Structure 1
Amino acid sequence: MTDTRPSVPAFATRPVAGIALALAVVLTALSGRYGFHRDELYFLVAADNLAWGYVDQPPLTPLLVKISTTIFGSTPMGLRVLSTLAAAATVVVVALIAREFANDRRAQVLAAVCAALSGFLLGVGHLASTATYDLLAWMVIALLAVKLLRTGDGRWWLALGLATGIALENKYLVVLPLAALLVAVLILGPRQILRTWWLLAGIGVAAAIAAPNLIWQATHDWPQLTVAGGISEDDGTENRIMFIPLQILQLSPFLVPIWIAGFLRLWRSPALRWSRPVALAYPILCVLVLALGGKSYYALPLLLVLVAAGAQPTIDWVTRTRSRRTPLAVGLVLTALTSALFTLPVLPTSAVNFVIPVNQEQGEQIGWPELTSAVAAAWQTIPEDQRARATLFAGNYGQAGALIKYGPDHGLPTAYSGHMSFYDWSRPADTQDGPVLLVAQERSPQYESNFKDCNQVGTVDNHQDVDNEEQGTALVLCAAPASPWSTLWPNLRRYY
């Protein structure tokens, strides 16, 4: 199909690449501060148990963690190299999206700057997480979808299928923006892009790439649906109440005028009439996420697309009057300062409590070595002649991951847990019928009924007054499991 649309402007290759490089330098410089995040500790163990699926996620992120730590070392800095590169690549893709919307070079640069300074990109770029690679995948899919809409060339469906298939091997959330965009196209058109065999070919490519994990999930009774349902049930109401405020805070309040300008431009501009479905897709996506009780950041990637669209009217507004440059510069500086403050490890650990109410992930990078030391001290209270038959049991995957990472240096045995995929990776042998040391955020009589004669022998203190989830964790020593581990194990499974 011949492209009858206007050609796009030249790409601002050097300045955009410079912005991406600057972001990579900043993230690398800060990647070794604080420590591993609880999810990263989980991914380290998952990387040693590579499979086509896990109860809570597809396999791509653990695979990338394995690659990164093998090449660069099993340290926070080594673990985060690939996530840093993914964040830098995301900046470039956002600028490419801006180019598709006929943004000139200055506006492409502004779009790249806004993306690089946004709190969401800095936050996920600092850590190795599914959200890190999911954001890059969403941006690539958005770029390809915009190209499809702009050109009407059905061959872009193949590229979309390829990108979607890879994204599905990382996180299933990618189906939400695709569904939102599909609904928007059905409402506004151009519907002819749906009447082509290239669409079926793209779906086939996506299905073929995603098939290994989908088969794994199907043969394991779709545990990821159970996990998602539990998250929605536990946090759904709070997620809905905080949906809009958190989106504004997580991206940056100072970028609100730019993405609003982007929405209005896509909706109103006659020259960009073909892009109206992109604008409509954002509110549709918000409705979908709210209905599912999902988290606010599930819709944030499409806001970056609107930022890309809004960069041109922002540049046009500034160039009309020289005095308007100051408000833009001040807004970008404030964006940089607030985003760094709330998402990057720039504060001393003693001040982290200040940002935890907005971004609790900051606190989840602190205190894991101290937790392990406290567990080691509690383990020493077990008589030496009973330790060979004793068991160390963690209540959640963060605790288990930390004990596996740091425990050997303290002489601790392998830690077990029933949380997420730890349940599947290993369980204690029935011959381990001696004392059980439980690591539990909160004591629970029902939980402890699986064991005999339980008494608290210690409390976790990170010694930095950081009010994270593990501060005050109880260390409970039980005389023995109430039943053989093979009988008890199903009672200890936790999906959330």
Structure 2
Amino acid sequence: MSSDQTKRTGPDPETRPEAPASTAAPTAPATPTSATARIPDLPAFAVKPVAVVAVVFAAVQAAFSGRYGFHRDELYFMAAGDHLAWGYVDQPPLTPLLARASTELFGDSPTGLRVVALLAAVAAVFVVALTARELGGTPRVQVLAALCATVSAYVLASGHMVSTSTFDLLCWLVITWIALRLLRTGDGRWWPAMGVAVGIGLFNKHLVAMLAGALLVAVLAVGPRRVLRSWWLLVGAAIVVALALPNVLWQIDHDWPTLDVAEGIREEDGGENRAMFVPQQIIMLSPFLVPVWAAGLVALFRDPALRWARAVAIAYPLVCLAVLATGGKSYYALPLLLVMTAAGCAPVVRWMRDGWRTGRARLVIAGLAVSAVVNAVVTLPVLPADSLDVPNAMNKEQGEQVGWPELADAVALGWRQVPADQQARAVVFAGNYGEAGALVRYGPERGLPEPYSGHMAFADWGPPPDSANGPVLLVRIDDAEGQDRFFTGCRLVGRVDNGKDVDNEEQDAQVQLCTGTTAPWSVMWPDMRRGY
């Protein structure tokens, strides 16, 4: 089905799958769930060119994967991987499990850990291309969709670092692709696959429920509703329950701690998240892609040939409203924006071809190139660590990959001030999960004991024994509040210096040596626990 082999006098090769039929069978593509309607054929999948795009993307990611160091969240996931459970206070178990598997298979290093993130991001690129194909996009459209995904800041960041959002992105894209296939074909046998995708997504992050709910409401609102009248839907629902049940039971047993974390996010950052929602949607994908996803949103609403896919277009604003109502982070809705981008690639290809002599194609190529360079600098460790001022101001996650061994060095210097005869009863206490994770990873080689912390899941792995009634070596950032009431006789014995003058959360953090605690650990621990 090569577009180059189609004569100019025939149907337009780039628009034929998407263009509204004006002469014959106008309702077939719009109602593929009809028992009598013919399901339109899809263009061939551009496997080789999309694979080339994915390989280049993977090569760039691999080249920079180990340049700085672990991110604070990665250190936390690695520590959680050593305490495997059906759930944690702030997340289901999939990301810690994958972090442990990656380091076991590929090495205990940033590069080894990030192999799973890279694989997930590469898979996401393929799914974006498949989404464009599902909407009738020709090979050129599919390749453009893959290119748009690889130059977006969100996908670049997801491929670089292990986080729950890395795998959440892939799950959302797969779920939406399956939803499009269900809506286009009306084949209920796709419901079990949907159940697997949603169940795995819930095993990683509960936000997938927001996507599933939005899609369901949208289908009920605009159809095609026939896809909901299949007994295969019950099979899919049973699969979701089976995969999600272990974590749900864990949450029930622990009084749903993830709800407390979500409430903490809303109280701490809800106002800022709402104010920055639209700007961050634009920046975290790419300003250049705004016309592309806007064209996709319009096409899904207005193109008669895509009437069957309108539910996906409606799901996006529904998810946005839910995120705004809950004070969630703007990137929660970004996977659906990538779907809109895939839908917008067909109009862009037509626009490029229609204005080839006016330089439209060169404009698109230049936009992709500029987006790739700018977003790579903002999301990947391209610059030397001591030149991070501008990228770190735009993306603070850059700076959070610098200085963790130096933090452990500062704590080790403080530990040497604990009298040798008291070290067996002494405790190293970290104020947050990043510090604790760094001390778990880098502390043993510096002679430090196991650290404790009341933050996030570390609280479930404590407290220290009450017999540890000696000195406490405390790590705390300057704006930490509420810790002083637990410790006595604290004095400053050091400060953290990452050596690169990177303005991150731990730069200039205090290392304090305290004579002891105000009460036994078991008594204080419930008050020392904190979530977000």
* Bucket of the pairwise TM-score, normalised by the shorter protein: over 0.9
1:437 counterpart = 2:473: yes
Structure 2, gaps ≥5 residues long = 1-32
Equivalent residues in 2 for 1:13-162 (5 A)?
13-162=47-196
**TM-score normalised by the chain length of structure 2:** 0.91
Superposed CA offset, 1:349-397 (max 9, x none): 1111211222110010000011111111111222222222111000111
On the 8 A contact 1:393/1:439 being kept in 2, the answer is yes
1:464 paired residue number: 500
Q: How far is 1:216 from its partner?
A: 0.7
The residue type paired with residue 203 of structure 1 is A
Secondary structure of 2:490's partner?
strand
Match for 1:11 among 29, 45, 59? 45
2: distance between equivalents of 1:427 and 1:369? 25
Sort the Cα spacing of 1:204 and 1:457 in 2 relative to 1 into closer, same or farther, 3 A.
same
The residue type paired with residue 338 of structure 1 is V
Q: How far is 1:280 from its partner?
A: 1.4
2:453 paired residue number: 417
On the 8 A contact 1:69/1:79 being kept in 2, the answer is yes
Equivalent residues in 2 for 1:305-454 (5 A)?
305-322=339-356, 323-442=359-478, 446-454=482-490
The residue type paired with residue 418 of structure 2 is I
Q: How far is 1:178 from its partner?
A: 1.6
The residue type paired with residue 441 of structure 2 is K
On the 8 A contact 1:56/1:421 being kept in 2, the answer is yes
1:255 paired residue number: 289
Superposed CA offset, 1:257-288 (max 9, x none): 10011111111111111011111111111111
Q: How far is 1:197 from its partner?
A: 2.3
Sort the Cα spacing of 1:336 and 1:242 in 2 relative to 1 into closer, same or farther, 3 A.
same
**TM-score normalised by the chain length of structure 1:** 0.98
Superposed CA offset, 1:47-105 (max 9, x none): 11111111111111111111110011110000001110111011001100000000000
2: distance between equivalents of 1:176 and 1:442? 37
1: distance between equivalents of 2:256 and 2:189? 33
1:487 paired residue number: 523
Match for 2:273 among 229, 232, 239? 239
Equivalent residues in 2 for 1:173-184 (5 A)?
173-184=207-218
1:225 paired residue number: 259
1:165 paired residue number: 199
Question: Which is further off, 99-108 or 24-33?
Answer: 24-33
The residue type paired with residue 258 of structure 2 is Q
Question: Which is further off, 418-427 or 216-225?
Answer: 418-427
Sort the Cα spacing of 1:443 and 1:298 in 2 relative to 1 into closer, same or farther, 3 A.
closer
On the 8 A contact 1:443/1:474 being kept in 2, the answer is no
The residue type paired with residue 361 of structure 1 is E
The residue type paired with residue 42 of structure 1 is Y
The residue type paired with residue 453 of structure 2 is S
Secondary structure of 1:392's partner?
strand
2: distance between equivalents of 1:351 and 1:372? 23
Q: How far is 1:334 from its partner?
A: 0.8
Q: How far is 1:443 from its partner?
A: 5.9
2: distance between equivalents of 1:7 and 1:178? 27
Secondary structure of 1:438's partner?
strand
Secondary structure of 1:487's partner?
helix
Equivalent residues in 2 for 1:207-218 (5 A)?
207-218=241-252
On the 8 A contact 1:58/1:213 being kept in 2, the answer is yes
1:297 paired residue number: 331
Structure 1, gaps ≥5 residues long = none
Secondary structure of 1:102's partner?
coil
1: distance between equivalents of 2:319 and 2:395? 23
Superposed CA offset, 1:188-217 (max 9, x none): 111222233222221111111111111111
Secondary structure of 1:172's partner?
coil
On the 8 A contact 1:107/1:311 being kept in 2, the answer is yes
Secondary structure of 2:515's partner?
strand
Give the CA RMSD over aligned residues.
Answer: 1.2
The residue type paired with residue 340 of structure 1 is A
Sort the Cα spacing of 1:421 and 1:20 in 2 relative to 1 into closer, same or farther, 3 A.
same
2: distance between equivalents of 1:276 and 1:402? 47
Q: How far is 1:479 from its partner?
A: 0.5
On the 8 A contact 1:390/1:433 being kept in 2, the answer is yes
Superposed CA offset, 1:371-429 (max 9, x none): 11111111122222222211100011110010111111211111111111111123211
The residue type paired with residue 370 of structure 2 is L
2: distance between equivalents of 1:55 and 1:177? 22
Superposed CA offset, 1:283-310 (max 9, x none): 1111110001000000000010011111
Q: How far is 1:449 from its partner?
A: 1.3
The residue type paired with residue 499 of structure 2 is H
Match for 1:187 among 218, 221, 233? 221
On the 8 A contact 1:130/1:171 being kept in 2, the answer is yes
Higher helix share: 1
Structure with greater Cα Rg: 2
Sort the Cα spacing of 1:41 and 1:222 in 2 relative to 1 into closer, same or farther, 3 A.
same
2:10 paired residue number: none
2: distance between equivalents of 1:12 and 1:41? 38
The residue type paired with residue 28 of structure 1 is A
Secondary structure of 1:491's partner?
helix
On the 8 A contact 1:4/1:151 being kept in 2, the answer is no
2: distance between equivalents of 1:336 and 1:88? 16
Question: Which is further off, 184-193 or 220-229?
Answer: 184-193
The residue type paired with residue 222 of structure 2 is L
The residue type paired with residue 252 of structure 1 is S
2:24 paired residue number: none
Question: Which is further off, 241-250 or 449-458?
Answer: 449-458
Secondary structure of 1:74's partner?
coil
1: distance between equivalents of 2:299 and 2:524? 60
Q: How far is 1:445 from its partner?
A: 6.7
Q: How far is 1:444 from its partner?
A: 5.4
